[in-house]
Amino acid sequence: MRYGLPRIARGCGFTLIELIVAVAILSILVTLALPSFRTMIINNRMTSQANQLLQLVTFARSEAIRRNRTVVMCIAAGDNGQGCAATATDWATGVTIFSDRDGDFAFDSADGDQVIEVRRPLASQMTITGGGSITRRLSFSPSGLITTGSGSLSLTSSVNSYTKQLAIGPTGRPRIE
């Protein structure tokens, strides 16, 4: 009669050398894959921010059509976001969307202008700058057409200088390029 473990149980498990080799191979693979994973994360953040900006522009356009009034989207001014910044050029600091009753493209509650939405801040670790005729504001007519002229908003990552663009044509329809 034989004593001890059954034949199947004796061959199970890893030796210390096999475990060290497996960990070494795993660490080499992780080291090779990490830069690609970081690039993927930054690209996903850029896409997410571009989609958020696309949603805001589409929202401003649809509000102009729904309210049958000019709607302005501009870089937010001050801590409360009431009105447009006079000199700021980075859209990532925040956005104010308001109904422009008198058509002067400037927020003034005494004129009957009404804030529709304020978003602060839009992005982290990136800048959003305007191009074409869109530098600090854009506005939509009651028919949904852009009244400030066509242009684009460029999202640039401060980590690795990746860029995405949100183009807005004369018809007012935004698209990510």
pLDDT digits (tens, 9 = 90+) for 86-108: 888 888 888 999 998 887 888 88
Among 170, 151, 165, CA closest to 53: 165
Identify the pLDDT of residue 3: 63
Is the pLDDT at 55 greater than 90, yes or no? yes
Cα 144 to Cα 59, 116, 165, distances in angstroms:
11, 16, 21
Q: Who wins on pLDDT, 158 or 118?
A: 118
- What CATH architecture is 7-176? 3-Layer(bab) Sandwich (3.55)
Distance separating alpha carbons of residues 115 and 102, to the nearest angstrom:
14
pTM of the model: 0.78
Please report the pLDDT score of residue 143 as a whole number: 93
For residues 20-38, average pLDDT: 88
Q: Quick one: pLDDT at residue 2?
A: 57
Least confident of 16-20, 60-64, 79-83, 120-124: 79-83
For range 143-172, the mean pLDDT? 87
Please report the pLDDT score of residue 100 as a whole number: 87
| pLDDT for residue 8 is more than 70 | no
Q: What is the pLDDT of residue 7?
A: 58
| Sequential DSSP letters for the chain | ---SS-HHHHT-S--HHHHHHHHHHHHHHHHHHHHHHHHHHHHHHHHHHHHHHHHHHHHHHHHHHHHTS-EEEEEB-TTT--SB-SS--BGGG-EEEEE-SSSSSS--GGGT-EEEEEE----SSEEEEEEET-SSEEEE-TTS-BSS--EEEEEEETTT--EEEEEE-TT--EEE-
Mean pLDDT in the chain? 85
Burial zone of 146 (CB within 10 Å; 0-12 exposed, 13-18 middle, 19+ buried): buried
Residue 98's contacts (CB-CB under 8 Å, 6 or more residues apart) are 71, 72, 107, 113, 114, 115, 116
Q: Where are the domains of the chain?
A: 7-176
| Tens-place pLDDT, residues 128-149 | 888 888 888 899 999 999 988 8
